[in-house]
């Protein structure tokens, strides 16, 4: 953290408004001075306030917790809020919207719509035996290790980075994505969920589900939450392939 | 004109809004949730440390119950809260957490046997009994008698939000994101829905409903330095204010959290201190015991934040390019504990500051400074959650002044409030939607839509010299400098005057792009005037309140003044052309309180101007309690005699605890 003048950086952004009749995809370069600890959140806010009030992007928590700001930074998908400019020695950053999602404008993509559809498809909720949970009574006991294991997989923030980095998704537009498979693994380990392996097979037992994954593993490489996607996808595949 | 009809309209898709929507949908109402962002990205996700509920499962929480949680909450509020609401809350919190467990929130569980913990900077062994194994665990937080804060590591809000959002999807709640409410539709003091802008297409639509529930969170972004997400701009409160009918309560009650990291302002959870972390000054000295010998780092947030600034003013801050700060030391908890229970904290320190807080000694200390964190104020409601003035408008969560937090909220009581209010207010809201019909003409709806349409055209036609981003930045800096942790009459008056000028200047801007779609500057141009109105409510309320209570601290009026200020500030905006809010007050009735005003047990002593009724009411409370105890009545019966309260559903039933079995 120093207060001397920072280096000049260049942020190059792909701009395009698919709702406009005249807009065409094009890059715009913004030159600005780097400040200590500058992230892409700080840089993009500065660009909007001082250079281009028309630039669209999404941030909510700006702390790597909400998963809003996935974008492609120099060819790799990442959370913009956790991207430190100092980690780019050339000072040149090229930003593009994440592929695989519907483009809203510039760097803003509709991950919410995609994730909702995914959640409905894998029935991303507790399926219990239908008995009313009496909330005036003591809670059901859960082994602390099992609770921790469920939490480990529940840390997914639906940022879409795994989907944007997925090779299978490029070939199979309806692929449920690493995020969807992780979600199934999460409910599979949760003792409150009464679904069997057979039930999960019904949801993801095809080439757009667990058998589609080509194990290229860019998902795990880029996951900002470091979820154990490789292990969990392999585990689910072994478990489900054994059923047929 | 596109009109969407539904039975129950919820504006805001965080924990409170989603839980209220589930309540409405379960009562077979067609329910729509509108959200600025995909709901799982709401600011609820950022709650780290945990949720207070008096389960009393673990060793350090044994013997906990609603009475202790109630007392902590009232003391925390500095007697500013509505005690009936606080009772409703503490009684429902254990049910809320058990419901969430059934919805899949993977609460950290009690493990039988011994473990090492750090208490008061010393290693201590805690042994959990076998009969508690597998029940929900809790950790220590500030201002609480017992370890009451239940958690999932330090991602509690995230797991709760996903649990509730998934449950909403399961029940087929109609969730629509990237939608922004611009105004409320109302007629004859009744609310019928909202005029809404689609943030993708720019299209305006009307949503007409039997009842409307606002759950849009707080107004932290009217300040510069804040832990709040960028969407926490207080727009829900602003559109309620702009009806000219609904009132806002205690807007000057703003909480500053002791430990956001410098300079990004990202929060490091109170769990850091709850788990045993300590605060150090420029000399590495642990200074909090010098100021607060009993509670130390775990006094309430308002007290710890002030002590930190006081210590910096005494020349003991750590200098940095961003001004002086304090160190937070969690390295003493050990790497294993940090990597399991404070993982997000570690990640934040590593990514944003290049510090590994698990490194031993000074290397692992994180720079922290108090910053805006929570809005106790909000849309004023009755205990049912319905606006006192605008029928059919319900409010829950941080957007409300319900009012269980008074002038200071306890850590762990906010995520708890979201789901508890979602249950309680959500059910009262649903009942309202069942018993009331829509009786508003489409012409009236059209009038409200046209007003917003015209307003956007007006903004795009402004040709003034001002810049909306500069106005916003000035407002935020002004709020930090003059309406912050330490306040005084002179600077508050300056703030009110300049905020008023800024509000007038918002009509003298020039929006560069004239597009109605995908135009971020246009969005700022209609949001900032609303934010300024909220900021004016905060600043003017603070200027008028000549006492210090909870987080509202006046250096020119150091005492809590129960004789003159045991009341709630109500602000309204009767005419659209007004440039200042109108203030009235709502008295708090000591003679109906279960716990009359007294000393909090932390903070400076002898700083209360007593109200003579406090002593009188205490005598009544003591007399009733002693008499009933002699008659062999239990704590529930005594409580009911002192201050009865009611709840919807089966929420009034007793909470079972393992210690009672």
d(CA B135, CA B658): 9
Q: Which residues of A touch B66 (CB under 8 A)?
A: none
Angle at A216 between CA A186 and CA A155, to 5 degrees: 25
Average pLDDT over residues B44-71: 96
pLDDT value at residue A64 = 94
pLDDT in tens, B201-237: 999 999 999 999 999 999 999 999 999 999 999 999 9
Average pLDDT over residues B50-57: 97
Beta pairing partners, B9: B32, B212
A21 touches chain B (CB under 8 A): no
Indicate the helix (H) or strand (E) that contains B478.
helix B468-482
Mean pLDDT of chain B: 96
Nearest to A126 among B103, B107, B111 (CB): B103
pLDDT value at residue B365 = 97
A234 touches chain B (CB under 8 A): no
Q: Say if residue A187's pLDDT is above 80.
A: yes
Is residue B597 a contact partner of residue B552, using CB atoms and an 8 Å limit? no
Q: Which residues of B touch A140 (CB under 8 A)?
A: 101-102
Q: Say if residue A1's pLDDT is above 50.
A: no
Query: What is the sign, positive or negative, of the torsion defined by CA atoms of B218, B224, B226, B231?
Result: positive
Could you tell me which of B416, B154, B428 has the C-alpha nearest to residue B271?
A: B154
pLDDT in tens, B606-634: 999 999 999 999 999 999 999 999 999 99
The lowest-confidence range among B165-179, B368-382, B485-499, B594-608 is B594-608
A84 touches chain B (CB under 8 A): yes
**How close, in Å, is residue A37 to chain B by CA atoms?**
7
pTM, two decimal places: 0.97
Q: Which residues of A touch B41 (CB under 8 A)?
A: 60-61, 66-68, 112
Is residue B650 a contact partner of residue A136, using CB atoms and an 8 Å limit? yes
CB contact under 8 A, B106 and A148: yes
Average pLDDT over residues B456-473: 98
CB contact under 8 A, A54 and B133: no
Strand B400-401 with B366-368, pairing? unpaired
pLDDT value at residue B322 = 84
Sheet containing B248-249: give its strands across: B400-401, B378-380, B248-249, B567-572, B582-587
pLDDT in tens, A103-134: 999 999 999 999 999 999 999 999 998 888 99
Distances in whole angstroms, Cα of residue A202 to Cα of each of A168, B63, B104, B255: 20, 47, 21, 49
Average pLDDT over residues B90-101: 98
Residue whose token pair is 């959870």 = B269
With a CB cutoff of 8 Å and minimum separation 6, the contacts of B29 are B6, B7, B8, B210, B430, B433, B434
Answer left, alpha or beta for residue A193, where phi above 0 means left and psi between -120 and 50 means alpha. beta
Active-site residues of B, by number, are: 257, 273
Q: Say if residue A2's pLDDT is above 60.
A: no
CB contact under 8 A, B40 and A3: no
CB contact under 8 A, B178 and A136: no
Angle at B643 between CA B639 and CA B644, to 5 degrees: 90
Structure tokens at B115: 């473990």
d(CA B426, CA B648): 10
**How close, in Å, is residue B527 to chain A by CA atoms?**
15
A191 touches chain B (CB under 8 A): no
The torsion angles phi and psi of B394, rounded to 5 degrees, stand at -110, 155
Structure tokens at B216: 């849009």
CB contact under 8 A, A151 and B267: no
Strand A92-96 with A8-15, pairing? parallel
Q: Say if residue B304's pLDDT is above 70.
A: yes
Could you give the ipTM of this predicted complex? Answer: 0.97
CB contact under 8 A, B177 and A112: yes
B350 CB-side CA count, 13 A: 12
Distances in whole angstroms, Cα of residue B391 to Cα of each of B8, B187, B341: 14, 10, 44
pLDDT value at residue B76 = 95
Domains along chain A with CATH numbers: 6-106 (3.10.20.30), 109-128+139-240 (1.10.1060.10)
DSSP-derived secondary structure for B426-468: HHHHHHHHHH------HHHHHHHHHHHHHHHHHHHH---SB-H
CB contact under 8 A, B134 and A144: yes
CB contact under 8 A, B109 and A112: no
**How close, in Å, is residue B402 to chain A by CA atoms?**
24
Q: Which residues of A touch B661 (CB under 8 A)?
A: 138
Q: Which residues of B touch A2 (CB under 8 A)?
A: 321
d(CA B267, CA B415): 15
A195 touches chain B (CB under 8 A): no
Angle at B210 between CA B205 and CA B212, to 5 degrees: 70
Q: Say if residue A4's pLDDT is above 70.
A: no
Average pLDDT over residues B381-396: 98
pLDDT in tens, B471-529: 999 999 999 999 999 999 999 999 999 999 999 999 999 999 999 998 999 999 999 99
Sheet containing B278-280: give its strands across: B278-280, B326-329, B366-368
Select the residue from A22, A38, A138 to test the B interface by mutation, using most B Cβ atoms within 10 A: A138
Nearest to B108 among A1, A119, A147 (CB): A147
pLDDT in tens, A34-82: 988 899 999 999 999 999 999 999 999 999 999 999 999 999 999 999 9
Q: Which residues of A touch B130 (CB under 8 A)?
A: none
A65 touches chain B (CB under 8 A): yes
pLDDT value at residue A131 = 86
Nearest to B99 among A2, A66, A133 (CB): A133
CB contact under 8 A, A62 and B264: yes
Residue whose token pair is 């010998």 = B293
Q: Say if residue A3's pLDDT is above 70.
A: no
CB contact under 8 A, A193 and B263: no
């Amino acid at each position: 953290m120093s207060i001397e003048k920072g280096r000049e950086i260049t942020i190059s952004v792909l701009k395009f408004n698919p709702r406009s009749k005249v807009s065409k995809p094009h890059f715009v370069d913004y030159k600005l001075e780097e400040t200590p600890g500058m992230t892409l959140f700080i840089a993009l806010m500065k660009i909007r306030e001082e250079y281009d009030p028309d630039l669209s992007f999404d941030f909510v928590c700006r702390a790597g917790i909400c998963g809003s700001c996935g974008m492609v930074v120099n060819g790799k998908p990442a959370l913009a809020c956790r991207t430190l400019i100092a980690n780019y020695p050339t000072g040149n950053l090229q930003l593009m919207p994440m592929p695989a999602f519907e483009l809203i404008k510039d760097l803003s993509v509709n991950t919410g719509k995609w994730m909702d559809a995914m959640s409905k498809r894998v029935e991303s909720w507790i399926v219990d035996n239908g008995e009313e949970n009496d909330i005036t009574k003591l809670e059901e006991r859960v082994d602390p290790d099992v609770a921790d294991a469920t939490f480990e997989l529940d840390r997914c923030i639906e940022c879409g980075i795994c989907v944007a980095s997925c090779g299978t998704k490029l070939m199979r537009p309806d692929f449920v994505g690493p995020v969807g498979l992780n979600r199934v693994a999460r409910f599979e380990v949760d003792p409150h969920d009464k679904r069997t392996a057979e039930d999960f097979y019904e949801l993801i037992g095809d080439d757009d589900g667990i058998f589609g994954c080509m194990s290229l593993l860019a998902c795990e490489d880029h996951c900002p939450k470091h979820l154990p996607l490789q292990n969990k996808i392999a585990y689910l595949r072994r478990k489900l392939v054994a059923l047929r | 004109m596109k009109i969407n009809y539904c039975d129950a309209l919820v504006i805001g898709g965080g924990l409170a809004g989603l839980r209220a929507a589930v309540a409405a949908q379960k009562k077979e109402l067609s329910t729509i949730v509108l959200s600025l962002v995909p709901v799982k990205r709401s600011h609820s996700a950022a709650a780290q440390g945990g949720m207070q509920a008096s389960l009393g499962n673990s060793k350090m929480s044994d013997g906990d119950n609603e009475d202790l949680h109630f007392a902590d909450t009232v003391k925390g509020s500095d007697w500013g809260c509505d005690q009936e609401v606080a009772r409703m809350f503490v009684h429902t919190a254990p049910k809320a957490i058990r419901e969430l467990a059934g919805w899949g929130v993977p609460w950290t569980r009690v493990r039988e046997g011994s473990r090492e913990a750090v208490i008061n900077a010393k290693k201590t062994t805690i042994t959990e009994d076998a009969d508690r194994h597998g029940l929900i665990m809790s950790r220590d937080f500030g201002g609480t008698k017992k370890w009451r804060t239940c958690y999932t590591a330090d991602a509690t809000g995230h797991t709760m939000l996903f649990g509730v959002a998934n449950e909403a999807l399961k029940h087929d709640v109609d969730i629509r994101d990237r939608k922004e409410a611009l105004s409320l539709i109302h007629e004859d003091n009744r609310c019928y829905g909202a005029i809404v802008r689609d943030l993708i297409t720019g299209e305006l639509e009307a949503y007409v409903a039997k009842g409307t529930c606002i759950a849009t969170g707080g107004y932290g972004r009217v300040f510069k330095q804040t832990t709040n997400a960028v969407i926490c701009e207080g727009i829900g409160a602003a559109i309620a204010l702009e009806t000219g009918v609904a009132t806002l309560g205690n807007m000057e009650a703003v909480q500053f959290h002791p430990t956001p990291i410098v300079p990004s302002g990202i929060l490091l959870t109170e769990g850091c201190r709850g788990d045993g972390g300590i605060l150090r000054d420029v000399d590495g000295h642990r200074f909090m015991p010098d100021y607060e010998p009993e509670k130390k780092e775990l006094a309430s947030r308002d007290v710890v934040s002030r002590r930190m600034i006081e210590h910096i003013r005494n020349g003991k801050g750590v200098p940095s390019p961003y001004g002086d700060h304090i160190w937070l030391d969690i390295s003493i908890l050990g790497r294993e504990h940090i990597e399991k229970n404070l993982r997000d904290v570690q990640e934040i320190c590593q990514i944003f500051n290049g510090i590994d807080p698990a490194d031993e000694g000074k290397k692992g200390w994180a720079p922290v400074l108090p910053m805006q964190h929570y809005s106790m104020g909000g849309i004023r409601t009755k205990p049912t959650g319905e606006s006192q003035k605008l029928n059919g408008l319900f409010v829950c969560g941080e957007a409300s002044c319900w009012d269980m937090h008074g002038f200071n909220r306890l850590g762990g009581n906010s995520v708890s409030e979201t789901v508890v209010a979602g249950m309680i207010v959500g059910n009262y809201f649903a009942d309202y939607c069942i018993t009331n019909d829509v009786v508003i003409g489409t012409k009236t709806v059209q009038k409200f839509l046209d007003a917003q349409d015209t307003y956007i055209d007006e903004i795009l036609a402004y040709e003034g010299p001002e810049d909306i981003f500069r106005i916003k930045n000035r407002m935020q800096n002004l709020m930090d400098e003059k309406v912050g942790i330490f306040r005084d009459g002179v600077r508050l008056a300056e703030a009110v005057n300049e905020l008023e000028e800024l509000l007038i200047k918002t009509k003298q801007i020039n929006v560069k792009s004239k597009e109605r779609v995908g135009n971020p500057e246009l969005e700022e141009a209609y949001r900032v005037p609303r934010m300024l109105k909220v900021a004016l409510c905060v600043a003017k309320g603070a200027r008028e309140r000549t006492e210090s209570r909870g987080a509202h601290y006046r250096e020119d009026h150091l005492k809590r003044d129960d004789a003159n200020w045991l009341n709630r500030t109500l602000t309204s905006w009767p005419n659209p052309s007004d440039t200042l809010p109108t203030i009235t007050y709502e008295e708090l009735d000591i003679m109906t309180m279960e716990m009359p005003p007294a000393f909090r047990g932390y903070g400076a002593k002898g700083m209360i101007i007593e109200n003579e009724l406090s002593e009188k009411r205490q005598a009544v409370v003591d007399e009733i309690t002693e008499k009933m105890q002699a008659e062999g009545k239990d704590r529930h019966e005594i409580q009911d005699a002192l201050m009865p309260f009611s709840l919807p559903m089966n929420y009034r039933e007793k909470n079972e605890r393992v210690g009672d079995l």
